Homo-oligomer: A and B are copies of this chain.
Amino acid sequence: MEEARANGPNGELPRPVVEGPTNPMVTPLLTDLYQFTMAYAYWKAGKHNERAVFDLYFRKNPFGGEYTVFAGLEECIKFIANFRLTEEEISFVRQSLPSSCEDGFYNYLRGIDCTDVEVYAISEGSAVFPKVPLVRVEGPVAVVQLLETPFLNLINYASLVATNAARHRFVAGKSKLLLEFGLRRAQGPDGGIGASKYCYLGGFDATSNVAAGKLFGIPLRGTHSHAFVSSFMSPDEIVGKSLHSSDGSTTCEDFVSLVQTWLSKIQWSNSLNGTFGETNQSELAAFMSYALAFPNNFLALVDTYDVMRSGIPNFCAVALALNDLGYKAVGIRLDSGDLAYLSCETRKFFRAIEKEFGVSEFGKMGITASNDLNEETLDALNKQGHEVDAFGIGTNVVTCYSQAALGCVFKLVEINEQPRIKLSEDVSKVSIPCKKRSYRLYGKEGYPLVDIMTGENEPPPKVGERILCRHPFNESKRAYVVPQRVEELLKCYWPGNCSDHKREDLPSLKEIRQRCINQLEQMRPDHMRRLNPTPYKVSVSAKLYDFIHFLWLNEAPVGELQ
């Protein structure tokens, strides 16, 4: 993230100026109306500046898994760093509230920003778990409420799609290229841009989305579509047929004829014999044109007519002609049919070409597969055996088709230094009160063992010292842990006016991506597996446990059986 610096009026070392959110539509109005009605009611009650602490967390990992990748923090910080209501926005708020609301409130809105707000968060790209605060926001209650909806909006989808991407990576394995192709099916323009960013964060290698490439420096991939293939009629329409050799030393004046010669060699070859008859000429013309335009980057989509009877022989003829001129074709893409079978048949054909014509490495030609891939189909491909080197994944990864939302919530845990609890008949929805600290405790083998939340002022867990970790709501679940390493999870990403804390730098997207990869690699494998993963333990200190249950009893009404 780029930061501009300007000297303050008294020449003091200035705070870094953080640029605004990626999407200019992220403004203070990107919030629920009730945040403004509440702000008015707080203001009217003289309560707006009471200092409140809110926790942002989720209750359940997505996709039936036992981990989540935290993402979206940078956009939140960019948002609050530039949080100010414009006159136009204030005037819209005025229109939207009852006319009985007093003018003084709009003057108040004119003055607010996030200099009184502090934001503590787990580092973006971390593995995170239910109930543990991802973000803790402290500040004047009316201002912090206004941040609720945009924070949830910026974090919910980002974390969901990053997790989804990480899960796809896990199934595909480290050695495969993962390409995100989802822009056309994404939930709106920045559903697409966000997907590209957070899929990359979650471990994808590249995207087809040019805008995301420009905004975030994500590597771009893409060649051609079926329409390109069917836009050609026959090789006769190719006008410019000449192609320089790769080293520039010679020129082939008729690349079209060279390809056609190779095609008949393939057709008449004994080892390849009988696998196909006439190939589709419009496809052949399209491949030749594409190769003439991109002789160094020839990757062809081979399923417009028929993969094995047309696409693959046509591709090989063009690739062999390119080879004559010193170019190395990149490979093919399959976008339909039985990808396991077709990739294996294709690989055999490539190997047969290598053998028959003595073109070394031809058998290792790249095979990309696309067409509605998801975790299940990747897993099925692995089980069947396949020869795919790269997967292009669209709809399922970007829209998180198997679970389209993450349920992060934003709960008041303290106001005026008074702890608050949100009760519910559903125990999983009871909030954990108090301004808290959280720690990740690591075991002997280097794996994280448990996350523990404590009260703000409790002494932190110490390496080598036994500590009791309790389930927050189930009194029988508890365990002693002797941590070999203790990591404090919440770091200060926005100190506001509070000078006690240095602001953590916002790392680059590449660094966040690497953190994600490292974090998931250090998890114990049974937490990560697709089927029946073991839940990672989340706990509270004994002291916090007692306090939660004291407060709960205090707030819950006593029933009367009738």
Contacts and interface: CB of A to CB of B under 8 A. Distances in A.
A562 interface: yes
A46 interface: yes
Given A210-B30, A233-B418, A293 B187 contact: no
B37 A223 contact: yes
Interface in A84-98: 89, 92-93, 96, 98
A462 interface: no
A149 B423 contact: no
Copies of this chain, whole number: 2
A304 interface: yes
Contacts of A558: 277
B184 A32 contact: yes
Nearest to A282: B555
A128 interface: no
A46 B209 contact: no
Given A183-B153, A557-B280, A193 B30 contact: yes
Interface string A248-278: 0000000000000000000000000010111
A239 interface: yes
A559 B230 CA distance: 20
Contact of A210 (B92, B148, B559): B92
A8 interface: no
Interface in A534-558: 555-558
A214 B30 CA distance: 10
Given A54-B227, A156-B184, A293 B40 contact: yes
Contact of A289 (B45, B98, B101): B45
A560 B277 contact: yes
Interface in A422-437: 422-426, 429
Contact of A424 (B149, B336, B408): B336
A27 to B, nearest CB: 6
Interface residues of A, number: 134
Contacts of A295: 100
A458 to B, nearest CB: 23
Given A27-B211, A412-B231, A558-B277, A226 B52 contact: no
Contact of A208 (B33, B190, B277, B304): B33
B44 A293 contact: yes
Contacts of A228: 38, 41-42, 145
A93 B210 contact: yes
A152 interface: yes
A556 B137 CA distance: 62
A85 to B, nearest CB: 11
A225 B34 contact: yes
A188 B187 contact: yes
Contacts of A145: 225, 227-228
A451 to B, nearest CB: 24
Given A193-B25, A213-B96, A32 B289 contact: no
Given A186-B157, A405-B185, A555 B305 contact: yes
A407 interface: yes
A183 B26 CA distance: 12
A224 B37 contact: yes
A232 to B, nearest CB: 8
Closest 10 CB pairs of A and B: A33-B222, A34-B222, A152-B184, A187-B187, A41-B293, A399-B404, A404-B404, A227-B412, A44-B293, A32-B208
Interface of A: 21-27, 29-38, 40-42, 44-47, 50, 52, 54, 89, 92-93, 96, 98, 100-101, 141, 145, 148-150, 152-154, 156-158, 161, 181, 183-195, 208-211, 213-214, 220-228, 230-231, 233, 237-240, 274, 276-280, 282, 289-290, 292-297, 304-306, 309-310, 336-337, 395, 399-401, 403-408, 410-412, 415, 418, 420-426, 429, 555-560, 562
24 contacts: A25-B211, A31-B210, A33-B221, A34-B208, A34-B224, A34-B225, A37-B293, A37-B297, A40-B294, A41-B293, A45-B292, A52-B231, A89-B214, A98-B294, A100-B295, A156-B185, A230-B421, A231-B412, A231-B420, A274-B560, A277-B558, A304-B423, A309-B557, A309-B559
